[in-house]
Amino acid sequence: MPRLPSVRFLALAACALLAPRPAAAPQQETESVGAVAGSEEGAGGWAALREDLAAQGVTFEGTFTVDVSGVLGGGVRQRSTTQGLLDLGAGFDLDPLLDWKGGTAWVEVWTRWGRLLNADVGDAQGSSNIDAPSQSQVAQLWFEQWLVPDRLRVKLGRVELFDEFAVVNGAGEFLNNGVTYTPSFLSVPSYPQTAWSVGLYALPTAQSWLSLAVFDGSAQDGVTTGNHGAGTFVGEAGGDQAIAEAGCQWPAADGRLPGRLGVGLWHHGARFDRFAGGTQSGASGGYALLEQALWREQPGVADDVQGVDAFVQGGSTDGDVADIQRHAAAGLTWTGMLPEHDADIAGLGATMVSFTAAPGAGYTADHELALEAFYMLQLGEGLSIKPDLQWIGDPGGDGSAADAWVATLRFTLAW
């Protein structure tokens, strides 16, 4: 499908015209950062400095994750590996900074190190969601503007697709990629390769959403979009990936427990090689997700999160060009399962992908099934340890490969 650079330029121009212009910042009767940090109230050092910066519109977030994993049996080989990910982000609220109403900017850097666990497991879905080649990159760099407060926003820049689409909140603590995110996308602009995009996100009501975005799809042509500028997005190389999602949620009320439902469609405009020979222009797919709270320890408390939650998700795409044609996953989590451990989370999940049966694809098993169990122990504010065990059947769609057992101990420090 031919690219339409004029459409993107019009979208960018419209956003620029609709966004309010920054006004001169008024004189604020606030103490300087240095004064607060050195005052009696600021004796907390970094915590006080961070609080003062947040009041001025600057926030910092960080996560340091280390996985110590081992293939206990099956897979490609049995050995241990250690890998880590440092994720640093900074946000800028343009209202207090520039008196620019409704504007936010964000920059995020990923630094990943260590050997690939997938090289030992050989699975298609990925048994560690931080598995990636060692690298450092500015992974996200975007500007967001609310055009209608709390109802309509536009987002421009380098974006992680799974921050906005196909989000399953209850799956966030699982390690297997297939449990957390549907792998039925083609050349998905996600970790470790995000991509430039322009998106429009609407909240027609407080309980519904409609999201539309176009991402740079040139990763299909071998472009490392996570380390690349916007040239392949606004230029003529590759093909764009368009995605739309609609959904609704229901809050806790009158004995009803909260939940949410979402469905999405996507189309990638690049040219794809067909397994049976030749090429085709474009490929499409879809996905759906459902989350539902099943039980709450304190059902009368609206924001209580202690209890049992469930989720299911699935996706499908064109098996003539995609290795993974269909995907289905489900999981259960229990927050606060043990007394005096209200923030701990236990989880059980399953994910299965069906491989294409197209001639020439070469798969000797028609699916890969992964089962996962974990317990996340909160040791202190921002510090957790998570033992995780996975079983992967027919890893990589290789019927001759032995089923793999993978154990991981994940350490996470968040601030």
Taking the domains of the chain in order of start, what are their residue ranges?
5-18+33-414
Residue with tokens 């176009």: 214
Tokens of 320: 């003539």
Amino acid found at 307: G
User: How far is residue 282's CA from residue 22's CA, in Å, rounded to a whole number?
Assistant: 41
What backbone phi and psi angles, to 5 degrees, belong to 151? -130, -35
Q: Letter for the amino acid at 20?
A: P
pLDDT value for 239: 78
Q: Which of 367, 387, 327 is nearest to 175 (CA)?
A: 387
Strands 241-250 and 208-215: antiparallel
Q: Are 388 and 407 in contact, with CB atoms under 8 Å apart?
A: yes
Question: What does DSSP assign to residue 163?
Answer: G
CA distance 85 to 66: 7
Q: What is the pLDDT of residue 41?
A: 45
Cβ within 8 Å of residue 49, ≥6 positions away: 33, 36, 37, 42
Q: CA–CA separation, 177 vs 180, rounded Å?
A: 5
Residue 382 φ/ψ region, left for φ over 0, alpha for ψ in the -120 to 50 degree band, beta for the rest: left
HEC profile for the chain? CCCCHHHHHHHHHHHHHHCCCCCCCCCCCCCCHHHHHHCCCCCCCHHHHHHHHHHCCEEEEEEEEEEEEEEEECCCCCCEEEEEEEEEEEEEEHHHHHCCCCEEEEEEEEEEEECCCHHHHCCCCCCCCCCCCCEEEEEEEEEEEEEECCCEEEEEEEECHHHCCCCCHHHCCCCCHHHHCCCCCCCCCCCCCCEEEEEEEECCCCCEEEEEEEECCHHHHCCCHHHCCCHHHHCCCCCCEEEEEEEEEECCECCECCEEEEEEEEEEEEEEECCCCCEEEEEEEEEEEEEEEEEECCCCCCCCCCEEEEEEEEEEECCCCCCEEEEEEEEEEEECCCCCCCCCEEEEEEEEEEECCCCCCCCCCCEEEEEEEEEEEEEECCEEEEEEEEEEECHHHCCCCCCEEEEEEEEEEEC
**pLDDT, position 45:** 77
Six-digit token pair at 401? Answer: 């490969």
For residues 285 and 305, give the distance between their C-alpha atoms in angstroms, rounded to a whole number: 33
For tokens 């093909």, what's the residue? 239
Half-sphere exposure for 127 (CA within 13 Å, toward CB): 36
* pLDDT reported for residue 345: 97
Is domain 5-18+33-414 annotated with CATH 3.10.450.50?
no
What pLDDT, on a 0 to 100 scale, did the predictor assign at position 2? 36
**What is residue 234's predicted lDDT score, i.e. its pLDDT?**
73
Question: What's the pLDDT at 33?
Answer: 32
Look at residue 257 in the predicted model and tell me its pLDDT. Answer: 93
Non-local CB neighbours of 323 within 8 Å, separated by 6+ positions? 124, 355, 356, 361, 363, 397
Whole-number pLDDT of residue 14: 40
Residue type at 65?
A: T
Extract the tokens encoding 348: 């059980």
pLDDT of residue 222: 83
Check: pTM over 0.75? Answer yes or no: yes
Tens-of-pLDDT digits for all 415 residues of the chain?
333 333 343 344 444 434 443 333 333 333 333 333 334 444 467 788 888 999 999 999 999 999 999 999 999 999 999 999 999 999 999 999 999 999 999 999 999 999 999 999 999 999 999 999 999 999 999 999 999 999 999 999 999 999 999 999 999 999 999 999 999 998 889 999 999 999 999 999 999 999 999 999 888 888 888 777 787 887 665 579 999 999 999 998 887 899 999 999 999 999 999 999 999 999 999 999 999 999 999 887 778 899 999 999 999 999 999 999 999 999 999 999 999 999 999 999 999 999 999 988 989 999 999 999 999 999 988 999 999 999 999 999 999 999 999 999 999 999 9
| Angle subtended at Cα 316 by Cα 310 and Cα 322, rounded to the nearest 5 degrees | 135
pLDDT of residue 170: 95
Q: Which residues, 6+ apart, have CB-to-CB distance to 48 below 8 Å?
A: 36, 37, 41, 42
